[in-house]
Structure 1
Amino acid sequence: MSKMIFISLPVADLGVSMRFYQALGFTNDARFTDDTAACMVWSEAIKVMLVTHDKWRTFTDRPIPPSTSSEVALNVSCDSREAVDAMNAAAAANGGTADINPVQEHGFMYGRDMADPDGHIWGAMWMDMTAMPAGGVTA
């Protein structure tokens, strides 16, 4: 799996947000889009997941910041499950907080979330695209 970054953003209106990102030059990947989330592609390595507030709340108990604040969940791809675990351990050993959310285990996809010293959310994830369920999935 090549190195990629997936930027997840909670949005109040998915359609409005999709149109905005398309106007900026992003394209939609329909395989990862439904009525709760949309994958907007900037490049092979950079994807933005627009997520409704209800869907966002299934990822974390942390409140969604008001629109006057800034917050994102930054997710980086790793080469293996072991690399995900190592990144999580390094966060805890260097002033961050490990496993701020439950470990995500989906067979073909594995992830662990951590917070940096300022509370910004980072997710380390590994995915085997060859094992992804037919028809795709959403975030």
Structure 2
Amino acid sequence: MSTNVFINLPVSDLATSKEFYTSFGWTLDPNFSNDDAGAVTISDTIYLMILGHHHWAQFTDKPVADTRTTSAVINALSVEDPAEIDTLVDRALAAGATEGKAQDLGFMRSRSFADPDGHNWEIMWMDPIARTGDWEAVQAKYGEQQPA
């Protein structure tokens, strides 16, 4: 059985967030979306739940963090091809995201963005050789760069 991942985010303007996340190719599931929440399908196993602040409060007693000024989580998603990084991040930027830090180590590349509420996302690719942990093979292919 595969594990599904549900990322839950509080958002200040649900309509804006629904438009933002669907504008770059993710799909809003109308069966689990209403005036309080939006269910966004990222992949077959990854889902994003965007919740208005009043709805978010039903799940926790903690106050909603101001993610425009603080950071607690970076939601990182991998892609199969490094070109997909630019495609997705450029679409997010066109939809109103703010670009964050980029990284290019050759064997691993990423770009990041913040959504309209300041939630951080990183889109990344890693060469399958690097995933094996065989750093001699990585260095042979990319040079002396080391993993962080």
TM-score by length of 1: 0.49
Quick one: higher RCO (CA 8 Å, sep 6+), 1 or 2?
Answer: 1
TM-score by length of 2: 0.46
Higher-Rg structure is: 2
